Structure 1
Amino acid sequence: MRKEKMFAMRMSLPDYERIHRKAEQAGMSMTGFLTLSALEKSIVVVNGLDNATAELKAIGRNLNQITTLCNMGKIRCPDLNEVQKVRRGVRFPVWPDGPGLTDGNCLRG
């Protein structure tokens, strides 16, 4: 969305630092953070997904390579049991004090 209006405001240094810290933790600019906060939209930060995302991308690349080899006729009937074991072991923290999604609850295979 195009930003057409400029808005300036004054606040105490502690408030500024606290808002700035929260915006950084959310990976957002202060403008974006304050706009979403003021419009009563939820700002959800889930820490620790970088490693899980990297692992899932690697698994996806491996599966794509296997699929390509199958389609080329270079391999037949690959054993995906090990892939299933790895996938079942991946846990995602969904909320800070709650359980994560694991096993086949979110992925069917």
Structure 2
Amino acid sequence: MNNDENKKKKFKVIGFALVIIGGLLMATSMIEFFMKFGTFQMPRLFFLGFIGIPMLGVGSMILKFAYMGKIARYTSNEVSPVIKDTANYLLEGTRDSIA
């Protein structure tokens, strides 16, 4: 395994950990917030949402970097035949006017 593969593996582990922890913190915050509706008590764990939302965002960004190569290769493989067909069609239609 080369150095880039190690970095991608670390990015995936860190990204998934941040997304899961951030999601749990945000869910805890929201559940506790909505459970306090109808009572006169203040939510005590609402601040966890302010920690969870940035963690969720940073984790998502790290996961995007970790999977960027796979996504680019997939996109290239899907788009290349269409571009080739379009270019051939345009060249076939303009061949008489060029010569």
Q: TM-score, normalising length from structure 2?
A: 0.34
Determine which structure has the larger helix proportion and give its number: 2
Question: Which has the higher Rg, Structure 1 or Structure 2?
Answer: 2
